[in-house]
Amino acid sequence: MKTKYLLSDEQIPRHWYNVLPDLPAPPAPVLHPATLKPVTPDDLAPLFPMALIEQEVSMQREIPIPDEIREALARWRPSPLYRARGFEKAIGTRSRIYYKYEGLSPAGSHKPNTAVAQAFYNAKAGVRRLATETGAGQWGSALAYGGQLFGLQVTVYMVRVSYEQKPYRRSMMHTWGAEVFPSPSDRTNCGRAILRETPSSTGSLGIAISEAVEDAATHDDTKYALGSVLNHVILHQTVIGLEAQEQMKMAGDYPDVVIGCHGGGSNFSGIAFPFLRDKLHGKSVRLLAAEPASCPSLTKGTYTFDYGDTARMAPIVKMHTLGHDFVPPGIHAGGLRYHGASPLVSLLVDQGLVQAVAFMQRPCFESAVLFARSEGIIAAPESSHAIRAALEEAKRADEEGKERVILFNLSGHGHFDLAAYDAYFAGKLEDFDYPREAVERSMAKLRWRCNAIAARARGARTSR
């Protein structure tokens, strides 16, 4: 009755898997937010070190992981793969469920996989400080840790609703030496403008990104770090899926479906993209992204060009979006409250290679409680969406009289989210419907820009 599949330190992947050369269609160009022209490496240089800009556009399928990064990763990688025997029994399913557990990293999620890589490349380029946004605090704490490891100062703009809901994430960031401000804040022009218009703004990832980008763009010694969405972030997360492939071999199984929750797309892509490579080579495997019904960019968003942030300072990318000034309801899965999605995942959804599903937060918590009681691990509210998806896949297989192999990414633990569990037990957790009117308002504002942006983009397909 084997329960966990472990790899040795030497088996930490030596290369990241870059999906770009394997895409079924060329990615759309990334556009400059002011000129609407395709961005050049020079445009991005105020925000990112050149090594990361190169990774963003690289067509090399396997990119070597520097020893310094592998050493840093070795503190928690390879992460274990578990067979969820207790959860299977609790569901009463005939399917076999496996999960890759990313909650053993110092910050408790998958985010340090890219935080240490980004901190390493920035430190190597002589950068002194990093500015970033964070939703639930997982990314902010991961970057605070990564910055500490490579001698960088870190400034975090934390979405206000999470800043208030999750004080201990702040404490973690402080412990690792970072400074943390609730966003919108009065430290940036865009934060002040939003506070003037909506003094009680709960904030959003889009707003916090604007503040961090403005901070980096206005300070010579500072660069910006993003915890998801971008190609290089997804690249760094592929260690998850590469390890999982080895571990599934040890288990003598291969997944019928690979699941990850979806905010900006990095943990989903991290586990799914190495399996996508198999799929493109003829393997039968479904890839399923699970997102919140209150912020359903993949299932209800429009696939179009939009700004990555609320104040329209970040580059414009083609993605599934709900509109850059859409502020999602304050669900507890703060890390999934992003108006857009990774351009790579968006393209693959558009091409039918990735599927998406959306859930309300209460059924997710219900599944996470069942999981905690049967497997022991208390999941992050974000990860509970993947648990829910795995449970529904198993139940569907049973109804169809099938036995499936289900693999999901348990992206983090919920030890700092226990107030959300308390709210669930007290019956105080609200299920937010799809906020149709707010999305329509935001998309209407975007629409008039879209045509102009798309027209200019048509002439520039190869810019990336």
CA atoms within 13 A on the CB side of 415: 14
Residues 107-126 that bind ligand PLP (CB under 6 A): 109
- Dist. CA 368–CA 244, nearest whole Å: 22
262 binds ligand PLP (CB under 6 A): yes
Residue 49: asked if its preceding bond is cis (omega within 30°), the reply is no
Of 210 and 267, the one with the shorter C-beta distance to ligand PLP is 267
Q: Exactly one of 210, 222, 267, 297 binds ligand PLP (CB under 6 A); which one?
A: 267
Distance between CA 137 and CA 180 in Å, rounded? Answer: 10
Among 336, 368, 397, 439, binds ligand PLP (CB under 6 A): 336
Stretch near ligand PLP under the rule CB under 6 A, chosen from 58-66, 255-263, 320-328, 454-462: 255-263
User: What residue type is assigned to position 454 of the chain?
Assistant: A
Least distance in angstroms from the C-beta of 410 to ligand PLP: 9
Does 335 bind ligand PLP (CB under 6 A)? Our answer is: yes
138 binds ligand PLP (CB under 6 A): yes
Q: Kindly tell me the sign of the dihedral angle through the C-alpha atoms of 337, 157, 100, 277.
A: positive
Q: How far is the CB of 294 from ligand PLP (least distance, A)?
A: 15
Q: For the chain, state the CA radius of gyration.
A: 20
Q: Which of 247, 266, 321, 361 binds ligand PLP (CB under 6 A)?
A: 266
Q: Whole-angstrom Cα distance, residue 162 to residue 318?
A: 28
Nearest to 276 by CA among 292, 261, 260: 260
> In the set 132, 162, 411, 442, which binds ligand PLP (CB under 6 A)?
411
261 binds ligand PLP (CB under 6 A): yes
Instruction: List the structure tokens of 154.
Output: 């870190």
Nearer to ligand PLP, 95 or 297 (CB): 297
Nearer to ligand PLP, 316 or 378 (CB): 378
From the CB of 280, what's the least distance to ligand PLP, in Å?
22
292 binds ligand PLP (CB under 6 A): no
Question: Are 295 and 205 a contacting pair, CB within 8 Å?
Answer: no
- Binding segment for ligand PLP (CB under 6 A), chosen from 187-195, 316-324, 380-388, 400-408, is 380-388
What does the DSSP assignment read for 317-363? Answer: EEEEES-TT------S-GGG--SS--HHHHHHHHTTSSEEEEE-HHH
Contacts for 371-378: CB closer than 8 Å, 24+ residues apart: 371/84, 371/87, 373/90, 374/84, 374/86, 374/87, 374/89, 374/90, 375/82, 375/84, 375/86, 375/87, 376/86, 377/101, 377/103, 377/410, 377/413, 378/413, 378/414, 378/415, 378/418, 378/421
Rounded Cα distance, 65 and 49, in Å = 17
Does the protein bind ligand PLP through residue 136 (CB under 6 A)? yes
Nearby residues of 395 by Cβ (< 8 Å), 6 or more positions away: 91, 93
User: How wide is the angle at C-alpha 20 spanned by C-alphas 19 and 25, nearest 5°?
Assistant: 115
The minimum distance between CB 329 and ligand PLP, in angstroms, equals: 16
**3-state per-residue secondary structure call for 80-123:** CEEECHHHHHHHCCCCEEEEEECCCCCCCECCHHHHHHHHHHHH
Is residue 417 part of the contact set for ligand PLP (CB under 6 A)?
no
Instruction: Count the site residues for ligand PLP by CB under 6 A.
Output: 21
Q: Does 416 bind ligand PLP (CB under 6 A)?
A: no
Which one among 159, 178, 298, 380 touches ligand PLP, defined by CB under 6 A?
380
In sequence order, which residues have a C-beta less than 8 Å from that of residue 267 and are 6 or more positions away? 102, 109, 110, 237, 240, 260, 261, 409, 411
Q: Could you say which residues in the range 72-111 bind ligand PLP, by CB under 6 A?
A: 109
Out of 27, 78, 112, 135, which residue is the one contacting ligand PLP (CB under 6 A)? 135
Q: Which residue number, 149 or 226, has a Cβ lying nearer to ligand PLP?
A: 226
What is the closest distance, in whole angstroms, from the C-beta atom of residue 109 to ligand PLP in the complex?
Answer: 4
- Told to check if 228 binds ligand PLP by CB under 6 A, we report yes
Element at 63 (helix H, strand E): strand 62-64
Please pick, from the candidates 309, 382, 392, 393, the single residue that binds ligand PLP as defined by CB under 6 A: 382
Among 296, 308, 323, 412, binds ligand PLP (CB under 6 A): 412
265 binds ligand PLP per the rule CB under 6 A: yes
Which position's Cβ is nearest ligand PLP?
335
CB nearer to ligand PLP: pick between 315 and 412: 412
Which of 264, 292, 301, 328 is close enough to bind ligand PLP by CB under 6 A? 264
Applying CB under 6 A, does 383 fall inside the site for ligand PLP?
Answer: yes
Q: Which of 82, 99, 121, 139 is in the footprint of ligand PLP by CB under 6 A?
A: 139
Which residues make up the interface to ligand PLP (CB under 6 A)? Answer: 109, 135-136, 138-139, 228, 261-268, 335-336, 380, 382-383, 411-412
